[in-house]
Structure 1
Amino acid sequence: MNKTLPPLPFDNVALFFDFDGTLVELQATPEAVIVGDELRTLVTSLGRELNQALALISGRSLDSLDHLLAMPTVNVSGSHGMQFRCGSSGDTFLHPNTVTLPDALIKDCQQFCHKHDLLLEDKPLTVAIHYRSKPEMENQVEAYLQQLAARFSSLDLSIQAGKRIRELKPSGINKASALDYFMSQPQFKDRTPWYFGDDVTDEDAFTWVNERHGVSVKIGEGESNAQYHLASPQEVMAFLQDRLAVRDNHDRK
């Protein structure tokens, strides 16, 4: 992966960002993340320069993102491509293949996590088991969710892997399908997609972007389909702030 990103031509690109591990540092629990005004200012400035051709695509629910960001007019997809809000109207909608997880499945997950002292995140369109505090349980968590998906096979669920997390969600919905939707919208159409992400959950999006001659950027360590690499959310912030400064200086001339 190349560490030197190409120029960022604001007039014809669309920017897409994962959230945790990309714009903010990963924390021990999802609730421990704190969003500063610097990030809100950056997202606002980028949106203005791009005529709002910017979106966040996260595994978090919309409610969780809204709680942290408090930016209700930002284009966003939550729960790995299951939830959407696009435009300033505030209207939200679900991917048509989204299913409601039955109470019996959620209760089973609660009992498993209680037994093994793991964190269960009910999003509520998916359920995610965090095992950051017990990484040795990765195989056991994977096997448990495989058994659970087989038990509820009529729902056609798949396991989404992430950094010390495994999540049950409907098959065929991911961050690539979220990109497909956004790029069909008027403010994104005919622009070149750039996608920034840090996790296994972003690999489908990287591939989608590469196939459309866009720019894919992996944040942090690890093998990836992405073309470019930045080390941390701080490097993402620095790159974007620098590009905005260049744009501002050019406009003043």
Structure 2
Amino acid sequence: MRVSLEGRVVLVTGASSGVGAETAKLLSARGAIPILAARSEDKLRTVSKTIRGEHEAIVMDVTDEASVRSAFRSAIDKYGRIDVLVNNAGFGEFVAFPDASLSHFQEMIDVNYLGAVRCVQEAYPLMRAAGSGHIVNVVSIAGKLATAKATAYAASKHALLGFTNALRQDCKGTGIRVSAVNPGPIDTPFFDRADPSGTYTRNLGSFMLRPEQVAREIVRTIETGRPEKDMPFISGAGAKLFQLFPRMADRLLSGLLNKK
């Protein structure tokens, strides 16, 4: 049974561009009250102008515990609750392991994994007290199917997916739902940093998802409460094949996957 989004307060991290911005727009169109959170005030202001319905824009750095706490406090002061948390903030850099510094790993873990954990730590007590809520972590198919030049990125997404699955078990009986959305490559500003040469995006071509597609699946996940969504289908199938037959899948898929 689908849940109505009318009047529901939804905090979306990484909402200043790409999937986060599109998700906020779609949520507003469905009657929800999106709270857009990101580091860039200027970019948030630009996205805010495209949303007609009631919404808020809050500057928040997911790597800064005080910033996260302050942003959640502002949202609670205004609305008294957060019905849904969408952890979408994240970034990637494609670097072969021999060229990757320790800080390369630390920064991605801090944003992609610990950033979500910090937000959940703020949202969980509120939802637990309310006896309801939904945490949606936008992970990546890289959390299941790792590729070359993505040791740090894949590790951060594996960590986030493991956290999501364990959190779902911890939340049983609390009224809090926990979901993971695992998209493949998306045509967003993510690749301005991850793939500055454009090689990866050119090699993928039409295989890349559009941010609007991913936003629709995030909203559908909120409405249906499904625990997990892999996209596109072929990526999800590849991940399942690798889990069941890792040696064969590695032999069959490595050439197809390593496009960086």
The structure whose RCO (Cα within 8 Å, separation 6+) is larger is 1
**What TM-score comes out, normalization by structure 2 length?**
0.27
Return the structure number with greater helix share: 2
**What TM-score comes out, normalization by structure 1 length?**
0.28
